[in-house]
Structure 1
Amino acid sequence: MRITAAVVEALDADFSVEQLELDEPGPGEALVRVVATGMCHTDAITVHGDLPMPFPCVLGHEGAGVVEAVGAGVTGVAVGDHVVIGWPSCGTCAHCREGEPRYCARLGEAVASGRRLLGPRAGQPALHRGQEVVHSHFFGQSSFATHALTWADSLVVVPREAPLELLGPLACGIATGAGAVFNTARPRPGESVVVYGAGAVGLSAVMAAALTPATRVVVVDLHENRLALARELGATHTVDAGAVDAVAAVQEVCGGPADFALECTGVIPVVRQAVDSVGMLGTAILIGGAPAGAEFSVDHLTTLWGKRIVGTLGGSGRSERLIGALVALHSQGRFPFDRLVKFFDLADIDAALAASRSGATIKPVLRMPSTAHG
């Protein structure tokens, strides 16, 4: 079938919105008419080569839409279902079997090989421009397009009454921040959570932390407008990193080292600040994506004294549980992530990316042509 998609031809190229051919769903696959898809930092760094997706390709990995067709053997979703497109995974490796598909042993292949991961057509792309291959299946979906072909088991069915055009970012950015709190940190009563970076991931972490028994939720950022929004979304304290020593300010607020520090920027000096913000038995959680090859150093002695440094991907856990919970919390008015979103048309994808890079927009979401409301 013919679809409209935003293609990246080469490293550092602009997007080109054009017509492509997409395969029909085969065994185990589903065709989703994309209503809207979020734009994530990972899409931007892939354009620059920090995630090695082959070109030309279609990016996008925060899609939500309506199932239009399913292949043989699909039973978990049906035509007409409203869905969020979750991350792909092999389903058979040790991590997948243990309930952590975000850490699938074939993760690199699943998210950025440009081809199907599973099924009888594994290893084949799904997008074409005449006789030319356009690489597909970015994070199993390539949702910067009017339609996405995905592995059916990665789909999360959501209630029909939920605002479908808003839900795509729950596949990655929003779930990443919230899941880092709910699944990785899990703060106990009276503990402190510090969030470095008040972007989409960081502010999602703030909203999640506000739903826990943590009594101090501290946000560190350079921009007062984002710090103000963080306070509205549940931060108990904020720190202007451009005006004060952030680590000292955090420890003053917390009455000593923090229990948890979430690093959401991927900026290496900020990684060190996050690590230095926690003390014995404290945990620094690395979330933000740094450039390829980036390294950081920490003080050995203070880390030896029971400090933990852990990474987390996509919010950890299973998509259906985390995304389902966030949809329900939003419907109850307890997780207002819609306040982070600004909508753009697919034709304006370069403007959306520029707005994200500049910080003018926290979470751009692209509406597909003629499908804005599903």
Structure 2
Amino acid sequence: MLEQVRQTELLENEVLVKIVATSICQTDMIARDQDYLVPHPIVLGHEGAGVVEAVGDSVLKVTPGDHIVLTFLSCSSCRECISGHPACCENFRDRSFSAHRIAGSHALADQQGGTLNDRFFGQSSFGEYAVANGQNVVKVRKDTPLALLGPLRCGIQTCAGTALNSLKVSPGSSFAAFGAGAVGLAAVMAASATGATTIIAVDILPSRLKPAMEVGATHTIDSTQGKVAEKIRAITGKGVEFALDATGIPTVINTMIDCLRSRGEGAIIGLSKPGEKLTLDLMDLLNQCIRRGVVEGDSLPDQLIPTMVDLYMAGRFPFDKLIKFYDFSQINQAAEDSEKGLTLKPVVRFS
């Protein structure tokens, strides 16, 4: 539902951003459907890009006129944040899913001045303006098309960061991405950028496998056509060194593990519904296959997002091939197309 809302007073540590475009992520739909509980009614949106319009008195990181990408909000003071892992912030839920400022107030109100939940990932960017914290804005170069950059904030940051930071995919190595939506394909691009020489995309939709070859995959596998592990071993000999699951589906995660070679390393980044269980064969642990869950690519957004922008501008990270633009008034259609697999990465633009 689209309606006019009111902005409350900007705090000294906050930034007012005029949104140019916001991409839609699976997490928005999960919160919309309350599979992941956040208070409703709420303004969602967490992949915004725009121009700084105003800053609070204590904000030094950006100034009005700067082009920025909005990222997640962490506390900056817990053990994980201090050690350089803000995506694992011990207060992540309070900062990103409480739907209010830490003190309990809101940045937005309805037309009658009533409570309107916001602060989704510290931004709530499904609107012409967003109020963020000075900490979760990332300044980007102005010679890049700003409307493209929102997807770098979450899904693409998560998978690229996982490939680069967590798995540390290396030159000449082998890599498999399970799930060839926008997230999995961004992992394919990141692996290609590192110099991996065998890059396999796995999905049930042939329509997703074709673009995988266009953005860096050397092989694709339709997982409905035979045993995936056997096909991967036929390609690699003994399995892949690195793999990533972007589906969150337990059976697919087990297949990913089966495809790892001895001491191979896999990462789980796909969202599962609360209560989903993963059953492992303990012999896999004896075989020293290493696996981990990764949040937000374990990234430092102020480093990774500008790096991805530079790679894109150098022609080495063609994430724009995943994007389809919609007018903001078409946001429901954009979400539906994404859920049906018709659009890899929908981005809603403000005119």
Residue number among 152, 176, 187 corresponding to 1:194 in the alignment: 176
Give distance in 1, aligned partners of 2:19 and 2:71. 13
Number of the residue aligned with 1:207? 189
Aligned counterpart in structure 2 of residue 123 of structure 1, from 84, 104, 126: 104
What is the CA deviation profile of residues 93-139 of structure 1, one whole-angstrom value per residue up to 9, with x for unaligned ones? 1111111111111011111100124xxxx321221111321100100
Choose which of 81, 88, 92 in structure 2 pairs with 1:96.
Answer: 81
Q: Equivalent residue for 1:37?
A: 22
Amino acid at match of 1:69: A
| Alpha-carbon distance in 1 for matches of 2:261, 2:236 | 11
Matches within 5 A, 1:133-152: 133-152=115-134
Is 2:244 the counterpart of 1:259?
no
**TM-score normalised by structure 1 residue count:** 0.91
Q: Is the 8 A contact 2:14 2:131 kept in 1?
A: yes
Cross-structure match for 2:147: 165
Q: How many residues align?
A: 350
Aligned-partner SS, 1:64 = strand
Hey, what's the Cα distance between the residues in 1 that align with 2:196 and 2:219? 12
**1:277 aligned residue:** 259
Deviation at 1:231, TM superposition (A): 1.0
Amino acid at match of 1:159: R
* Alignment equivalent of 2:37, drawn from 52, 59, 62: 52
**Separation in structure 1 between the aligned mates of residue 308 and residue 9 of structure 2, nearest angstrom:** 31
- In structure 2, what is the equivalent of residue 108 of structure 1? 93
Q: Determine helix, strand or coil for the equivalent of 2:297.
A: coil
SS in 2 for 1:134: coil
**What pairs up with 1:300-319 in 2 under 5 angstroms?**
300-319=282-301
Paired residue type of 2:14: E
CA deviations on 1:317-360 (whole Å, 9 max, x unpaired) are 21011000011111111111011001111111110110000000
Could you tell me how far apart the structure 2 residues matched to 1:189 and 1:357 are? 34
SS at match of 1:79: coil
> How far does residue 64 in structure 1 lie from its aligned partner after superposition?
0.5
Query: Is the Cα–Cα contact under 8 Å of residues 157 and 299 in structure 2 kept in the other structure?
Result: no
Which residue, out of 327, 330, 338, partners 1:345? 327
Structure 2, unmatched stretches of 5+, are: none
CA–CA distance in structure 2, aligned partners of residues 293 and 132 of structure 1: 34
Q: Give the CA deviation at 1:213.
A: 2.9
CA deviation vs aligned residue, 1:28-68 (integer Å, no higher than 9, x gap): 11100111001001101111222211000000000000111
**2: CA distance, partners of 1:144 / 1:99:** 29
The CA deviation string for residues 49-90 of structure 1, in whole angstroms up to 9 with x for no partner, is 222110000000000001111112111110111100111010
CA distance in 1, matches of 2:171, 2:86: 29
Contact 1:279–1:302 (CA under 8 A) maintained in structure 2:
no
Match of 1:334 among 304, 309, 316: 316
CA contact (8 A) 2:10 2:107 kept: no
Paired residue secondary structure (1:211): helix
Distance 2:170 2:132 in 1: 38
Deviates more, 1:238-247 or 1:358-367: 238-247
Distance 1:137 1:320 in 2: 20
User: What SS does the corresponding residue of 1:61 show, helix, strand or coil?
Assistant: coil
2:351 pairs with 1:366: no
1:8 corresponds to? none
Q: Does structure 2 conserve the Cα–Cα contact (< 8 Å) formed by 1:24 and 1:31?
A: no
From 67, 82, 97, the equivalent of 1:82 is 67
**Letter of the 2:311 counterpart:** L
AA aligned opposite 1:107: F
CA distance in 1, matches of 2:332, 2:129: 19
Aligned-pair identity in percent equals 41
* 1: CA distance, partners of 2:340 / 2:326: 15
Structure 1: how far apart are the matches of 2:323 and 2:214? Answer: 15
| Structure 1 moving runs of 4+ over 6 Å | none
Counterpart-to-counterpart distance in 2, 1:46 and 1:273:
28
SS in 2 for 1:238: strand
Q: Measure, in 2, the Cα distance between the counterparts of 1:37 and 1:197.
A: 23
Matched, 1:182 2:167: no
Q: Shift in Å at residue 304 of structure 1?
A: 2.6
Shift of 1:191: 2.0
1:216 alignment counterpart: 198
